[in-house]
């Protein structure tokens, strides 16, 4: 609650917080829209593969020509990171391989890194975060995106003495969505292909939101940042409105749908027959908590919290998230406090590639939101044991084997480039955490509540 005061002090001292943005897409543009209205925060460097598009993005969000002229636009991320006098690097490309490369460049240059690129974070974030800690810089999830907002709510619950039963977000979900391809995605959003094209909407990206992949990625990020467990069979996506969170999102033994307490989960804004859920949480995040004693449970009732019938389970939620409009919180927290807004502390959740249809040897996988695979959340130990191919590596790789519809695609099913820096990084992370995961599986240890 002191970030604005700390920023004012930096501004008064003539030392503005300087940020380099990598990727001027939607998330980046929303952040840029706030910059002129945040005295003491400067973005003197924008890195994008299309510099003209990046300049136009600045105009679109309201930058004047003087501010644009004072900004350097480049497509050479590594050189810009190494040479710029920046406090914080924001990685917002959405490309896992590129994100890993930029994160490591920032860490090597002694700069804090805010990882909007949750795809890269889930692929290798636990390793990158450890590298950042050793280097004395901050590696942070991006505030405004749902993983950081959920991690904040989990931290709030634990810091106030509550046991976290479940945490996650809402989304629009039906089981059939797992097999949807970019060709058929727009009907599920109530749009025609022409309307989507005129709005500049990318069908594969929006399909990753629909087919369950983005939800899996975000829940893996939350699990890794908070230590919460991952459902053993994958996400359930139960239909649930905000008033029913304490009733539905509790363990089965207490009458809910969860296999146990202390897990991540996504709630659907649609009933299984397609009807809308009453007071849905499609755009928001939540945490379900358990009263540690009868007195706290009585306080829940006295202060109007919605609870389950026992009165012991309650929920807190935020109905919306504002994406890049909220990103300043991460940037200022890193630069002024030296603290992340969520950061991987271990490797608990992974996202495996699952066939959307019967796939044949010789086919090329086209990654998240595409025509061939969707991403399924798995416990990291189970994913490693199965040799599952991470969704972040299922881009432009050729199948060596047939894979049946609904089956997990494994490393052994694809041709990979052993010299790829991205694959080397992922393998290094698997090696670094495999012994820890085996030990936890052997002694039955679980996440803190």
State pLDDT tens for residues 190-249: 999 998 887 778 899 999 999 999 999 999 999 999 999 999 999 999 999 999 999 999
Which burial class, exposed, middle or buried, applies to 188 when counting CB atoms under 10 A from its CB (0-12, 13-18, 19+)?
Answer: middle
At 439, the pLDDT band (50, 70, 90 cuts) reads low
CB-CB contact of 90 with 116 (8 Å) = yes
Query: Cα 270 vs. chain centroid, distance in angstroms?
Result: 22
Q: Residue 173 — pLDDT band, cuts 50, 70, 90?
A: very high
pLDDT of amino acid 447:
43
Helix (H) or strand (E) holding 349: strand 349-355
Let me know: does 87 contact 17? Beta carbons within 8 Å. yes
pLDDT of residue 445: 46
Which DSSP category does 41 fall into?
Answer: E
Q: What pTM does this model have?
A: 0.95
Give every CB contact of residue 9 below 8 A, 6+ residues apart in sequence. none
Here the tokens at position 428 are 């290094």
pLDDT band at 116 (very low <50, low <70, confident <90, very high): very high
Contact yes or no for 283/170 (Cβ under 8 A): yes
Q: Looking at per-residue confidence, does 438 or 311 come out higher?
A: 311
Decide if 213 contacts 351 (C-beta within 8 A): yes
């Amino acid at each position: 609650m002191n970030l604005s005061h700390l920023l004012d002090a930096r501004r008064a001292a003539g030392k503005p917080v300087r940020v380099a943005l990598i990727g001027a897409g939607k998330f980046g543009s929303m952040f840029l829209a706030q910059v002129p209205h945040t005295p003491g925060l400067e973005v003197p460097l924008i890195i994008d593969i299309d510099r003209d598009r990046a300049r136009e993005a600045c105009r679109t969000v309201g930058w004047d020509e003087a501010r644009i002229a004072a900004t350097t636009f480049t497509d050479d991320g590594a050189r810009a990171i190494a040479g710029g006098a920046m406090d914080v690097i924001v990685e917002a490309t959405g490309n896992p391989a590129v994100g890993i490369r930029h994160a490591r460049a920032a860490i090597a240059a002694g700069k804090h890194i805010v990882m909007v690129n949750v795809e890269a974070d889930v692929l290798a974030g636990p390793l990158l975060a450890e590298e950042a800690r050793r280097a004395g810089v901050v590696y942070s999830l991006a505030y405004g995106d749902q993983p950081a907002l959920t991690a904040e709510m989990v931290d709030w619950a634990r810091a106030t003495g509550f046991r976290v039963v479940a945490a996650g977000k809402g989304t629009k979900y039906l089981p059939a969505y797992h097999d949807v391809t970019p060709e058929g995605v727009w009907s599920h959003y109530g749009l025609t292909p022409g309307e989507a094209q005129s709005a500049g909407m990318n069908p594969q990206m929006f399909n990753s939101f629909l087919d369950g992949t983005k939800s899996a990625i975000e829940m893996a990020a939350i699990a890794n940042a908070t230590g919460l467990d991952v459902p053993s069979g994958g996400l359930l996506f139960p239909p649930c409105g905000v008033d029913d969170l304490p009733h539905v999102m509790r363990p089965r033994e207490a009458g809910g749908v969860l296999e146990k307490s202390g897990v991540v989960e996504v709630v659907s804004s649609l009933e299984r027959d397609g009807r809308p859920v009453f007071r849905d949480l499609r755009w928001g995040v939540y945490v379900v908590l358990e009263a540690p004693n009868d007195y706290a449970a009585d306080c829940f009732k006295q202060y109007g919290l919605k609870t389950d019938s026992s009165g012991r389970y309650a929920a807190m939620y935020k109905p919306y998230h504002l994406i890049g409009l909220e990103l300043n919180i991460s940037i200022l927290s890193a630069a002024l406090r030296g603290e992340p807004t969520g950061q991987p502390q271990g490797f608990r959740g992974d996202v495996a590639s699952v066939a959307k249809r019967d796939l044949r040897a010789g086919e090329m996988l086209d990654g998240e939101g595409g025509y061939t695979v969707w991403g399924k959340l798995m416990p990291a130990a189970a994913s490693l044991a199965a040799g599952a191919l991470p969704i972040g590596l299922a881009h432009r790789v050729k199948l060596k084997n047939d894979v049946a519809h609904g089956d997990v695609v494994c490393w052994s099913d694809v041709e990979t480039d052993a010299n790829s820096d991205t694959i080397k990084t992922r393998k290094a992370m698997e090696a670094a955490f495999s012994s820890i995961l085996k030990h936890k599986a052997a002694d039955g240890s679980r996440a803190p509540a």
